[in-house]
Structure 1
Amino acid sequence: MTVDVVLPCLDEAEALPWVLARIPSGWRPIVVDNGSTDDSAALAARLGATVVRESRRGFGAACHAGLLASDAEFVCFCDCDASLDPGLLPGLVAGVRDGSADLVLGRRRPAARGAWPAHARAGNAALSRLLRRRTGLRLRDLGPMRAARREALLGLGLSDRRSGYPLQMVVRASDAGWRVREVDVPYLPRAGRSKVTGTWKGTWQAVRDMRRVLDEPAMVGERA
């Protein structure tokens, strides 16, 4: 079994040592630098990660660049801000490997006060309800920690390059008849300031990006 862990990164030098130290032994971390102004890319390389540079700004752009750079059987995604523990990823991959699911998502459960701001939780809950109407999936979170087979992910033809990327993955997986499952994971206070959900404005932009995804017609895209 080969596994790559895609870590979208924008100015995460503070969190990188902890995150990379938690990558399971034998798995390859792919840090996708999305225009950092600190030394995130150089630090990640020194710590042994494969570094991919994606000049087009956007969470989806960074995630997809990492997916395209992967050559493993399984691909995981995880935030690079120390809010999620990559050491828990084997539990997600196990569900895909044993055939009980095609896409496994980490359902974030706040482990400390302030880990998940109220406005971010509210936006996530609203999107979960809209997703249920669109797909029938009863998911309680659309978090960034997830695992699937690389070839299958490429077959979804993911096209969003902004904050809608994680939701588009779930929507297109559902349209393709995938079995999507959640497992609980602790959600920790992130290192540094959030670039997206740390503010109402950032949360609103993410929700707007995701609403556009929900308005797309049902389809299964071409292979990327």
Structure 2
Amino acid sequence: MIPKVTAIDVTTVQERVYRELRSALQQGRLVSGQSMTVRALARAVGTSEMPVREALRRLIVEGALVQVPNRSFQVVPMTLDRLAELTRVRVALEGMAARLAAGASNAAFVARLTALNAQMQDAVRAGESNDEILRANQEFHFAIYTAAASPQLLEFIDMLWLRSGPYLSTVLRGSPEARDLFRRGAVSHDRLIRAMARRDANAAARALIADIEQMASSAMKLLTPPAKKRRRTVAMAA
């Protein structure tokens, strides 16, 4: 007879560090252009430097980080061209996932989305930290992408969020109207939930795409150089 024992977590320290840094990128806790050192990260996560180095190496391969000359690492800076391309790809793949999820929707799924969306709205209204708002937003979206029941599609979307998550944080931190953006984003979430309740695949995709494009538009305004903004204003006035 084998005695009752508690299962041991066989996940390596290296893997846990990698997952934590990955989550920090996807949820915007690490922002576009942010620099970090191995020593500082090891101190923050409470490990030796070796697992941190390996995690950073993997994130460089995945296109989320770059190594800079002073032996530190940097979240890949967001540019207008990079953001535009990421948005186009996200619209295509995440719109597809919303359609698939709508086809498989049921009452329990709609109830879960409603609860997750309420968490995000409550966090915005209560003035909670940016991290809490972005965490709730990510959980809402990935509940949909997981419900699409397409492992390869989920893998691609997961990679896109690894690269685009830091700009969401940039929007939330860099725009005076940022929290209002998330309130309006919650309106898109409401439309998306109603579409899921009706199992309306096209309406679900439209609502999700509107949410993506709204945030991307706000980020593009922050990334546009002041001189270019002035030229655009003058051209419109003429």
Band of TM-score, shorter chain: under 0.3
Structure with greater Cα Rg:
2
TM-score, normalised by the number of residues in structure 1: 0.26
Query: Relative CO higher for 1 or 2, CA cutoff 8 Å, sep ≥ 6?
Result: 2
More helix by share: 2
More strand by share: 1
